[in-house]
């Protein structure tokens, strides 16, 4: 018997405040034209000063539970992917647990930056397949605007805030590619590349949160190559071709990186879920935000084969093949 982690429901949350590229022009030396051409971003959401990552995570998780027709007491644990927790400890996940009435654990955060949601999904899938849990909430939530240097035009125009979530349940499968649920996940990291994208502060070093620092060109170069590799790995592992994929649900950092991955796969852009224009880069939240949008507007239908992929600071990267 094969156990599969099946998606029962999805949810998401975006803060109300919209910051357009025109708004950015008033803050740093940039133009709407530059941002759209180089990144595809037109606007991003910004959390209120008193709105923290956990607040957004709770709203997204609440929606996912509702979509699954479940209550907190039906859930065995919570995993939140985030790099922008409210406090150094405890985790964002315990706040979600308490707010939604989840009575048991495991409950913890996963820190793998923009690949965080793929990492969290992988951990959740492992817990479900070993029988350690039957139903888990998996959330990606970030307040990236809290670690931006608003004087650095090379980074501050790129990021936004938000959260996305899903409920996974262990169900019996046949072990075939036709099964619903997570079919495989593929995780990678290369700590030798940690200096091309990092935050210049932290608890043990500066006792401050710090700000994002990025060698954009080098991250871009790595992302295009590594995303192409990992999506190929996911297809090969499952003995399928890109023609079998219904939707590519990528991390939303830059439209040009996404186009590169789609091209490598031979997938048309109308089979790619795109939110980068409206959300910017929301790090660990971007994939579940995109997933929820396409589920809610009916593009993603039961039985569809989804390829999720993302790369972030570390570098960390990964992919997941899921039948919705
Ligand atoms: O989610 C984690 C992973 N992160 C990523 O995947 C991000 C990867 N990198 C990128 O998306 C792109 O490298 C960026 C969007 C960050 C930058 O695009 P680029 O085409 O690589 O531009 P660049 O860094 O080579 O900069 C080109 C020029 C520079 O001017 P000079 O030196 O050529 O005179 C920059 O100073 O554009 C300038 N520039 C800007 N101009 C207007 C940089 N930022 C801006 C800006 N507005 N906001």
Render pLDDT for 122-135 as a digit per residue (tens, 0 to 9): 999 999 999 999 99
pLDDT at 105: 86
Q: Which of 118, 154, 219, 277 to mutate to test the pocket of ligand 1 (most atoms within 8 A of CB)?
A: 154
Percent pLDDT > 70 in the chain is 100
Domain boundaries, the chain: 2-173, 181-323
Mean pLDDT of 199-215: 97
Read off the pLDDT of residues 232-286 as tens digits, 9 standing for 90 and up: 999 999 999 999 999 999 999 999 999 999 998 999 999 999 999 999 999 999 9
| DSSP states of 151-178 | T-HHHHTTB-EEEEEEEEEEEEE-SSTT
Q: Which are the catalytic amino acids?
A: 114, 251, 281
If we measure between CA atoms, which residue out of 164, 166, 162 comes closest to residue 14?
162
Mean pLDDT of the 110-129 span: 98
Q: Which atom of ligand 1 is nearest to the CA of 157?
A: 48
- How many angstroms separate the alpha carbon of residue 262 from the centre of ligand 1? 21
Q: How many other CB atoms are found less than 10 A from the CB of residue 194?
A: 13
123 SS3 class: helix
Q: Are 317 and 230 a contacting pair, CB within 8 Å?
A: yes
Measured by CA distance, the residue closest to atom 39 of ligand 1 is 154
Residue 230, pLDDT above cutoff 90: yes
Nearest to 147 by CA among 52, 82, 212, 216: 212
Q: Which strands make up the sheet holding 2-13, listed edge to edge?
A: 2-13, 161-173, 135-143, 77-81, 107-110
pLDDT at res. 34: 98
Contact 274, 255 (CB under 8 A): yes
C-alpha 38 to ligand 1 mean position (Å):
7
Q: Does the pLDDT at position 1 exceed 90?
A: no
The pLDDT value recorded for residue 189 is: 98
- The H or E element spanning position 279 is helix 276-279
Q: What is the pLDDT of residue 288?
A: 98
pLDDT at position 85: 98
Which residues approach ligand 1 with their CB closer than 6 A? 30, 34-35, 38-39, 114, 153-154, 157, 216-217, 219-220, 223, 253-254, 257, 281, 311-312
Please provide the DSSP assignment of 292-303 as one string.
HHHHHTTSS-TT
CATH superfamily of 2-173: Thiolase/Chalcone synthase (3.40.47.10)
CATH number for the region 181-323 comes to 3.40.47.10
Indicate the pTM of the whole model.
0.97
* 310 CA → ligand 1 middle, Å: 19
Residue 198's pLDDT band, with cuts at 50, 70 and 90, is very high
2-173 and 181-323 have identical folds: yes
């Amino acid at each position: 018997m094969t156990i599969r982690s099946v998606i029962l429901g999805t949810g998401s949350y975006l803060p109300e405040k919209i910051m357009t590229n025109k708004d950015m022009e008033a803050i740093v030396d940039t133009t709407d034209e530059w941002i759209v051409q180089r990144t595809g971003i037109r606007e991003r959401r910004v959390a209120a000063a008193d709105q923290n990552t956990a607040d957004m995570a709770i709203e997204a998780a609440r929606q996912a539970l509702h979509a699954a027709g479940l209550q907190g007491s039906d859930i065995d644990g919570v995993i939140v992917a985030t790099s922008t927790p409210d406090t150094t400890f405890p985790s964002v996940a315990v706040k979600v647990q308490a707010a939604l009435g989840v009575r048991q654990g495991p409950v913890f955060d996963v820190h793998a930056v923009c690949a965080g949601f793929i990492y969290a999904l992988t951990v959740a899938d492992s817990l479900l397949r070993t029988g350690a849990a039957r139903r888990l909430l998996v959330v990606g939530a970030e307040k990236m605007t809290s670690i931006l240097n608003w004087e650095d035009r090379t980074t501050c125009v790129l990021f936004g805030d938000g959260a996305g979530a899903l409920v996974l349940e262990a169900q019996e499968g046949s072990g075939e590619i036709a099964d619903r649920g997570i079919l495989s996940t593929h995780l990678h990291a290369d700590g030798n590349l940690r200096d091309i994208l990092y935050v210049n502060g932290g608890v043990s070093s500066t006792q401050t949160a710090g700000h994002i620092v990025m060698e954009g060109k080098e991250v871009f170069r790595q992302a295009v190559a590594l995303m192409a590799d990992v999506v190929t790995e996911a297809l090969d592992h499952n003995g399928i071709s890109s023609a079998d994929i219904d939707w590519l649900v990528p991390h939303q950092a830059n439209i040009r990186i996404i186009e590169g991955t789609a091209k490598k796969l031979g997938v048309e852009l109308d089979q790619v879920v795109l939110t980068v224009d409206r959300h910017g880069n929301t790090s660990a939240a971007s994939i579940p935000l995109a997933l929820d949008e396409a589920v809610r507007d009916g593009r993603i239908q039961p039985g569809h084969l989804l390829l999720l992929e993302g790369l972030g600071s570390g570098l960390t990267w990964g992919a997941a093949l899921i039948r919705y």
